[in-house]
Amino acid sequence: MSRWKISAVALLAATLTLLPGPVEAQEATMSDPAGDTLARGLDVTRVKVSNQDFRIVTTVHFVRTRRGELIVALDPRGANPGVVLVSRYRPRGPTRNFVLSAAGNAPRVRCPGFKVAWRPARDLARMTLPSTCLKRGNYGAVRFAFLTERNAADIDFSSDRSAFIPRG
């Protein structure tokens, strides 16, 4: 091989080595013991939040999927209030999903891309919040806490907030 070709291959290898790898979402998981509910309702066993570049994906696992309200609070680092994701699950009937501001008066936040998928066969729910619905996408790390309710009564909740999850 000529010197020119060897130099070109070496330069290409060095360039590929120095390029950053693919961006990976940062995530955190919070476990909750089964059977610790205050009454019959959604009993959370695990919550995973993935702070991706263009969305925040929250996956919640239950002992058993049943009627109730799933509430996940997302709090960005800094002084501004975050948002509260709410899904009122009804096995036989309409499920209502919306986003509230975490500010004191809790007005609804317009968020056209907010989606919630309930998978009763797998006892889980997946909430997807577009990044533009939280501080117009101008945030970094977030932390979370969860709560489940039925008929406005607390059923299950996290004992504390998660650690801050960097944005991926």
Q: Domain ranges for the chain, please list them.
A: 24-157
Q: Residue 17 CA to chain centroid, in angstroms?
A: 33
pTM, entire model: 0.83
CATH no. for 24-157: 2.60.40.1190
In this predicted model, what pLDDT tens digit does every residue of 111-129 receive, in sequence order? 999 999 999 999 999 999 9
The first and second tokens of residue 113, run together, are 């891309």
Phi first, then psi: what are they for 73, rounded to 5°?
-95, 130
The first and second tokens of residue 72, run together, are 């996940």
In this predicted model, what pLDDT tens digit does every residue of 36-90 receive, in sequence order? 998 999 999 999 999 999 999 999 999 999 999 999 999 999 867 899 999 999 9
Cα–Cα distance for residue pair 47/72, rounded to 1 Å: 9
